[in-house]
Amino acid sequence: MKNENLFAALRAAFPADLNAIAVETDNGLNYSWHDLERATAMLANLLVSLKLPAGSRIAVQVEKSVEAMLLYLATLRAGYVFLPLNTAYQSAEIEYFIGNAEPAVVVCSSKNFGWVSKIAFKAGTQNVFTLDDDRTGSLLARAAHCSDKHTVAVKSADDLAAILYTSGTTGRSKGAMLSHGNMLSNALVLKDFWGWKPGDVLIHALPIFHVHGLFVALHGALINGSKMIWCAKFDPKFVVRKMPEATVFMGVPTLYVRLLNEPALDHNAVRNMRLFVAGSAPLLIETFNEWQTRTGHTILERYGMSETAMLTSNPYQGERRGGTVGFALPGVTLRVQGDDGKSIGIDDIGGIQVKGPNVFKGYWRMPEKTKEEFTADGFFKTGDVGKIDPRGYITIVGRSKDLIISGGYNVYPAEIEGYINDLPGVAESALIGVPHPDFGEVGVAVVISKPGASLKSAEIIGVLKSKLANFKIPKQCFVVAELPRNTMGKVQKNLLREQHKSLFT
Ligand code: MLC
Ligand code: AMP
């Protein structure tokens, strides 16, 4: 049987000279390709030594580090399923993910070991390790005793490789199940489509718990055998300083906004750069234009999702049109449908639906939800609303899902409203997204108190901070007498958005 393990394909793309530098970190460390080979073998052997059942989930909530990336690769290598978790998640969020995914292994930062291990053991997890961003922790200590020779586990394209949790408009987060084949097909298409070539160097400045940093950026560099300049945190000054040594950069729009605030960003700084890719949230046309003026480069905007990896891209060769997300990638079939389920014409607005080898296998243990999100003829309903112009360029004009994208992170109003509504004295609430110069969009809460209750905005925010990831915290909170409603009694969020649209701009 042919081994369709994603790691096998990435490993096969390592350059012949394994002593060459594969990763250079922002704190001055160098890792060779040989180091990557050995460390992933040792970590994979550690996982194998735990005698985990096939399909076991390895849940990981750690700060970004090369070792955290190696743990991802080792999980693929050993044939288990990687489950990355945003470092901003608090205990209630982690309790849900661990309870739902029932991972066999949990890896966390040592500062969180106390509460994370309690949650994990309660959920039946047998193995909890620590991994810190200074190359310490019980995971590495244990792996140090393992052999550095490991035969890559044999997997078929349909076998699960990762689960990414993503929320819906109602209910709790759903785990999107991605296979080795989903990710390898996408990586190979992008390698070709974006013209990756020998000598490319990627500046990796995104977190590694979501599609953009973990798959698009990382797989992109590895499948091309390209060196990465590895940033533990996004620091615009560092990125501009390193640009002369690099050729490719990928970021959410906020990263581009922050880079534009750097006076050192100019034509000279980007003289060796080949490609700037943006995605995960809408790139403002102002940012697109200003980037062109300041650097002479045209940002290539693309569109994707946790459930599908990358779906569309502006062309590498050819016109990159600001405000659009380009064309469906080779192998992806994309259509725009009206509410009546019929395909609609050029420039008509409707729901974006997709099909292709990149589309996920379904939501973890939620067959009914999975069924709801696919059409009878097998298209996945993205929840994004868009149109296709006469030249075939796709524009996303909105979302049918109630979702705020803030600095590239998704915030689901229903989740935050649920927490606010549970507070004593709250009758109801609405969370809306409003424009923000740095994060693109941020959440603002509008809250109605129960008769006689005296609610304070600062107290509401204070309680939310203790329960939710920091990026989900509303940037402002208003306690008001009533919410605008339509004749059906539904809260008119569009009116609230209009009312608060100038709060930050
Ligand atoms: C941080 N904060 C945010 C925030 N990030 N608030 C809203 N939205 C965000 N994204 C909060 C902090 O908690 C802090 O609050 C305050 O804002 C200022 O923080 P900061 O120091 O400026 O934030 P920083 O650590 O610099 O992080 C900003 C960032 C980060 C833009 C670098 O958010 C980031 O890495 N975003 C990228 C997300 C990403 O990778 N998305 C890809 C998803 S994949 P306080 O109150 O504590 O001061 C996907 C599919 C696809 O969507 O197509 O790619
Ligand atoms: P996630 O659930 O984090 O994978 O987020 C995916 C969502 O991000 C998509 O459904 C879109 O709404 C949004 N998105 C991704 N790329 C873009 C883009 N280039 N422009 C606008 N929205 C985008």
Give this prediction's pTM.
Answer: 0.97
Which residues have C-beta atoms less than 6 Å from ligand 2?
Answer: 166, 210-211, 279-282, 301, 303-306, 325, 382-384, 396, 399, 405, 410
Q: Which ligand is nearest to the CA of 443?
A: 1
Total domains present in the chain = 3
Q: Among 338, 364, 399, where does a domain finish?
A: 399
Q: Which residue has the higher pLDDT, 168 or 131?
A: 131
Atom of ligand 1 nearest to the CA of 470: 13
CA of 403 to the centre of ligand 2 (A): 10
How high is the pLDDT of residue 380? 97
Give a yes or no: residue 362 inside a domain.
yes
How high is the pLDDT of residue 75? 99
Query: At 133, phi and psi to the nearest 5?
Result: -80, 10
Residue from 320, 384, 399 whose mutation best tests the ligand 2 pocket (most atoms within 8 A of CB): 384
Q: Which ligand is nearest to the CA of 234?
A: 1
CA of 429 to the centre of ligand 2 (A): 25
Give a yes or no: residue 220 inside a domain.
no
Same domain? 373 vs 408: no
CA of 409 to the centre of ligand 1 (A): 7
Same domain? 433 vs 350: no
At 197-214, the pLDDT tens digits run: 999 999 999 999 999 999
Instruction: Catalogue the long-range contacts made by 12-20 (C-beta closer than 8 Å, 24 or more residues apart).
Output: 13/222, 13/223, 13/224, 13/225, 14/225, 15/225, 20/227
Helix axes 113-122, 91-101, angle to 10 degrees: 30
Q: Among 366, 399, 432, where does a domain finish?
A: 399
The C-alpha angle 484, 486, 487, rounded to 5 degrees, equals 135
C-alpha span between 208 and 187 (Å, rounded): 16
442 lines ligand 1 (CB under 6 A): yes
Give a yes or no: residue 131 inside a domain.
yes
At 85-130, the pLDDT tens digits run: 999 999 999 999 999 999 999 999 999 999 999 999 999 999 999 9
Q: Which residues, 6+ apart, have CB-to-CB distance to 372 below 8 Å? A: none
- Residue 172 pLDDT > 90, yes or no? no
Same domain? 58 vs 77: yes
CA of 176 to the centre of ligand 1 (A): 22
Same domain? 52 vs 104: yes
Atom of ligand 1 nearest to the CA of 209: 40
Q: Say which amino acid occupies 406.
A: S
289 lines ligand 1 (CB under 6 A): no
Helix axes 253-260, 285-295, angle to 10 degrees: 50
Instruction: For residue 280, give the DSSP letter.
Output: S
At 423-473, the pLDDT tens digits run: 999 999 999 999 999 999 999 999 999 999 999 999 999 999 999 999 999
Rg (C-alpha) for the chain, rounded Å, is 23
Give a yes or no: residue 268 inside a domain.
no
- Residue 171 pLDDT > 70, yes or no? no
How high is the pLDDT of residue 453? 94
CA of 234 to the centre of ligand 1 (A): 10
Same domain? 370 vs 455: no
Same domain? 420 vs 471: yes
Give a yes or no: residue 271 inside a domain.
no
CA of 69 to the centre of ligand 1 (A): 20
Give a yes or no: residue 111 inside a domain.
yes
Residue 414 domain boundaries: 403-500
Query: Residue 178's closest CA among 3, 307, 355, 73?
Result: 307
Atom of ligand 2 nearest to the CA of 307: 4
Q: What is the CATH number of the domain that holds 435?
A: 3.30.300.30
Residue from 280, 354, 401 whose mutation best tests the ligand 2 pocket (most atoms within 8 A of CB): 280
Atom of ligand 1 nearest to the CA of 305: 50
Q: Whose CA is nearest to atom 48 of ligand 1?
A: 470
Same domain? 408 vs 432: yes
253 lines ligand 1 (CB under 6 A): no
How high is the pLDDT of residue 169? 54
Q: What is the CATH number of the domain that holds 140?
A: 3.40.50.12780
Same domain? 124 vs 165: yes
Q: What is the CATH number of the domain that holds 391?
A: 2.30.38.10
* For the chain, percent of residues with pLDDT exceeding 90: 96
* For the chain, percent of residues with pLDDT exceeding 70: 99
Same domain? 352 vs 380: yes
Give a yes or no: residue 347 inside a domain.
yes
Same domain? 341 vs 416: no
Same domain? 334 vs 466: no
Average pLDDT, whole number, for the chain? 97
Q: Whose CA is nearest to atom 47 of ligand 1?
A: 470
How high is the pLDDT of residue 401? 86
- Residue 170 pLDDT > 80, yes or no? no
Same domain? 176 vs 39: yes
C-alpha span between 29 and 111 (Å, rounded): 24
Give a yes or no: residue 451 inside a domain.
yes
- Residue 156 pLDDT > 70, yes or no? yes
CA of 408 to the centre of ligand 2 (A): 8
Q: Which ligand is nearest to the CA of 207?
A: 1
Atom of ligand 2 nearest to the CA of 210: 3
Atom of ligand 1 nearest to the CA of 438: 31
